[in-house]
Structure 1
Amino acid sequence: MAAKKASETFSKALVDEVQRWGEKKQTGVSLRYMMEFGAKPTHKNLLISSQFLHKELPIRIARRAIELESLPFGLSHKPAVLKVRDWYLDSFRDLRSFPEIKDSSDELAFTQMIKMIKVRHNNVVPAMALGVQQLKKDLNPKVATKDLQEIHQFLDRFYMSRIGIRMLIGQHVALHDPDPEPGVIGQINTKMSPMLVARNASEDARSICLREYGSAPEISIYGDPSFTFPYVPSHLHLMVFELVKNSLRAVQERFMNSDKDAPPIRIIVADGIEDVTIKISDEGGGIRRSGLPKIFTYLYSTAKNPLDEDLGVVDGVTMAGYGYGLPISRLYARYFGGDLQIISMEGYGTDAYLHLSRLGDSQEPLP
C-alpha cells in the first residue's frame, strides 16, 4: 500500500489550516504559574484555562504535524509514523471544530474532548520508536551518525513538545478532581517527598527485575524523609524508575553468574538551594567511554528489542526497551529546568545525576 500524503487523506482546507496554525507563536507556562493558577480552580479559572488550551493546543499540535510530514530519510512514510501523523491531524481537527468556549457546560465538554485526545496519543512513543526501527532496517549501515543527528534533534523536539501538551491537558483535567489531596494542585504536588517517590519508583523497577531475572539487587535510599518541594510526582517517578531499572539490569547481569553477592544500588537525595539532586549509583560495570555519547540517542539500545511490528506489545513494561528511557527521562528533567547527567567508570559502575530545579520559575522549553 502506498503511503498517503496528508493532503490525500485529509481535506485541503484542513491541511492549509494546519499550516496557518503552525506559524503562530506558542505560549509557554511555568510550574509556578500552573500552581498559582490552579490553586483556586473556580469556574472562572477553569473557563480561562480551557480558553487558553483551545488556542494553544492547536498551535503545538499543528507544528508537530507539519514536522511529521518532512522527516529525513523517508521516515515520514513509514507506516507507524503515518499513523502518528494521523493522530495529530485528527486531534487538530477536533480542537479546531470545537466552538468558542463561553460557559461551564462548554468547558466540561471541552475537557472531555481533550481527555480523549490525550488517550488517542498514549502510544505515540512506541509508535515513533517502531517507525525509527522500520527506518533502521532500510538504512544503509554506512549512514553516518551525524546524518542521523537530524532525526535525533527532531525526536527531541517532538517528545519535548509531547511532554508539554500532555502536561497542559493533564493539568487542566486534574483540576476537575472534586476532592484533591491536600497540597495537590492538578498533577503538581506542592509537598512532594522525593524520597517517597524514589522509593516507590525503585520498588516498581525492582519488581520488574525480579520478574525478569528471578532475583534483584537491593536498593538503599539516603536523604531526609521529611524534605518536600513542589514538583510533578508522575514525572519524577518515570525518571527514577527508568534510571533504577538500568542500574538493576547492569548489576544483575554483571553478578548473575558470580559467587559474589550483587552490591546494592544507592540512591542519594540532596536538597540544594537551586536544585534537588538525586544520584543513582550502581556497580554494574559502567559504560565504555566510546559508548557514552550514544546513550542519549534514540537509535541505540544495548538490549534486545522488545518491539514487535504489532504495537499491542508495548503496554507491558519490559526491563530494557527501545533505547528511549534515557533520552526521554532527560527531556522530562529539562522540561521544568532540570537536567540528567550520566558519569561512568568502566569496569566499576555508573552514577546518574538527576537535577531538578526547585525554583519552579523556568518557562517550558518550547521547541
Structure 2
Amino acid sequence: MAVKKACESFSKSLMDEVQRWGCMKQTGVSLRYMMDFGSRPTQRNFIISAQFLHKELPIRIARRATELESLPYGLSEKPAVLKVRDWYLDSFRDLRTFPDIKDAKDEKDFTQMIKAIKVRHNNVVPMMALGVQQLKKEKILHDGLDEIHQFLDRFYLSRIGIRMLIGQHVELHNPNPPPHCVGYIDTKTSPMEVAQNATEDARSICLREYGSAPNVTIYGDPDFTFPYVPTHLHTMVFELVKNSLRAVQERFMDSDKVAPPVRIIVADGIEDVTIKVSDEGGGIPRSGLPKIFTYLYSTASNPLDEHSDLSDADAVTMAGYGYGLPISRLYAMYFGGDLQMISMEGYGTDAYLHLSRLGDSQEPLP
C-alpha cells in the first residue's frame, strides 16, 4: 500500500522544498494586531498583508504536509489522509509558484488564489476523521491514541490559524462590511446574541432529530460586547448547547417529568468573558471525562462511513464523529481562552468556555 508515495505525483524538488519550508519559523499574530491592522484597509496595507501571507502560509502548510507524511500506525497510508496530504501539497505548490507581490494587481490575483486554497481545504476535518475511522476499524489503536490525538490537536489548531489568516485577508476586501466588523472580527460581538443564535440552531436540530427539544434560558447583560470572531464563538456555543440538549432529551425522553431547561450564563470579567452552559442531562461518568476531548470518542453513533459522500459533509448532524468538543476547545485556545467541563454523574454537566478579553495573546503555533 505504501507504494504511492508523494514523490509520484509531486516532484522531488517540491518535496525537498516542503521539507525546507517546514523547518522555518512561524510568525503568530494576535487578535488585536489583526484588528488594528485591518481597521485601515488601504491598498498599501492589502499589499503588506498579502506579502506576509505569501511567506507565512507556505511555512504553516509545509509543516502540516511533512507531518502528514509520517504519522504512526500507517495512518499516513490511509486513502483519506493521502487525499488531505495532496491538498496541502497542492496549496504549498500554488503559494510557492506565485511570484512576489509588488502591486495592486499582484495582490488581487494572490487574494483570488488563497480564496481557492481555503475552499480546497473545506472538507479537511471530515476527511481526516474518515482516515482515523479507517484506522479505528483495524483495532490497532489501543496504545497509540495519545500520539495521534496530539497530532490532530496540532493539525487542527494550525488549520484554524491558516483559515483565519486567509479569511481575514479576503474579508477585508469586502466593499460593504457589516457594521463594527474588521474582516472576520466583530469589534462589538455580543455574546448574548451569539448564544441566542447558536441556541436556536441547536434546538432546531434537536427538534428535527427527536421531535422535541428542551428549553434554553440565557442570562447575562444584553448590552455587553467585546471584540471577537463571531463565527468561532457560534461554533463553540452551538456545540456545547447541542451536547446539553441531547443529554437532557435522552434522559427525559421516556419520563413523565418535564425536561429541565439548559442554562447559559454569560459573565464579563476584566480578563475573561466566560460562558457557562449547564444541563441536568445526567452527567458524564468520571472515567469518561478524559476522553471527551479526544478525537476518537463519541457517545453518539458515527455518521461517517466509508461510503459517505463528503461533498455534503457540512450538513450538521446532532452528534457526530466526536470532534465537536476537542475542536471547540482549540477554537477557544486559538485566541488565548480555554474550555473546561465539570460533570456530576447522575445529575448533569457544566461547561465553562473562557474567552480572553484582551485580544493580546499570540496565536498558539503548533
Q: CA deviation at 1:183?
A: 1.2
**1:193 matched to 2:224:** no
- The one-letter code of the counterpart of 1:263 is P
RMSD: 0.9
Q: Is the 8 A contact 1:3 1:79 kept in 2?
A: no
Q: CA deviation at 1:313?
A: 4.6
- The one-letter code of the counterpart of 1:267 is I
Which of 151, 154, 159 in structure 2 is aligned with 1:162? 159
Residue 208 of structure 1 is matched in structure 2 by 205
Residue 8 of structure 1 is matched in structure 2 by 8
Residue correspondence of structure 1 range 135-174 to structure 2 within 5 A: 135-140=135-140, 143-144=142-143, 147-174=144-171
> Residue 290 of structure 1 aligns to a residue in which SS?
coil
- The one-letter code of the counterpart of 2:86 is D
**1:237 matched to 2:234:** yes
Task: State the TM-score, normalized to the length of structure 2.
Answer: 0.98
Residue 322 of structure 1 is matched in structure 2 by 321
Task: State the TM-score, normalized to the length of structure 1.
Answer: 0.98
Q: CA deviation at 1:2?
A: 5.7
Residue correspondence of structure 1 range 304-323 to structure 2 within 5 A: 304-309=301-306, 310=308, 311-323=310-322
1:279-309: CA deviations, max 9, x gaps?
0000000000000000000011111010022
Q: Is the 8 A contact 1:251 1:282 kept in 2?
A: yes
* Identical residues among aligned pairs (%): 82
Which of 286, 290, 298 in structure 1 is aligned with 2:287? 290
- The one-letter code of the counterpart of 1:137 is K
1:50-95: CA deviations, max 9, x gaps?
0000000000000000000000000000000000000000000000
**1:97 matched to 2:97:** yes
Q: CA deviation at 1:42?
A: 0.3
How far, CA to CA, are the matches of 1:135 and 1:74 in structure 2? 8
How far, CA to CA, are the matches of 2:230 and 2:30 in structure 1? 16
1:105-133: CA deviations, max 9, x gaps?
11011000000000000000000000000
Residue 70 of structure 1 is matched in structure 2 by 70
Residue 86 of structure 2 is matched in structure 1 by 86
Query: How many equivalent residue pairs?
Result: 364
Residue 109 of structure 1 is matched in structure 2 by 109
> Residue 287 of structure 2 aligns to a residue in which SS?
helix
How far, CA to CA, are the matches of 1:5 and 1:196 in structure 2? 49
- The one-letter code of the counterpart of 2:32 is R
Q: Is the 8 A contact 1:3 1:77 kept in 2?
A: no
- The one-letter code of the counterpart of 1:221 is I
How far, CA to CA, are the matches of 2:218 and 2:325 in structure 1? 21
Q: CA deviation at 1:3?
A: 5.2
In structure 2, list runs of 5 or more residues that go unmatched: none
How far, CA to CA, are the matches of 1:118 and 1:27 in structure 2? 19
- The one-letter code of the counterpart of 2:25 is K
Per mean C-alpha deviation after superposition, the further-off stretch among 3-12 and 63-72 is: 3-12
Distance 1:66 1:2, change over 3 A: closer
- The one-letter code of the counterpart of 1:182 is P
Residue 362 of structure 2 is matched in structure 1 by 363
Residue 124 of structure 2 is matched in structure 1 by 124
How far, CA to CA, are the matches of 2:200 and 2:206 in structure 1? 10
Residue 332 of structure 1 is matched in structure 2 by 331
Per mean C-alpha deviation after superposition, the further-off stretch among 47-56 and 304-313 is: 304-313
- The one-letter code of the counterpart of 1:324 is Y
How far, CA to CA, are the matches of 2:349 and 2:32 in structure 1? 33
- The one-letter code of the counterpart of 1:28 is G
> Residue 242 of structure 2 aligns to a residue in which SS?
helix
Q: Is the 8 A contact 1:307 1:313 kept in 2?
A: no
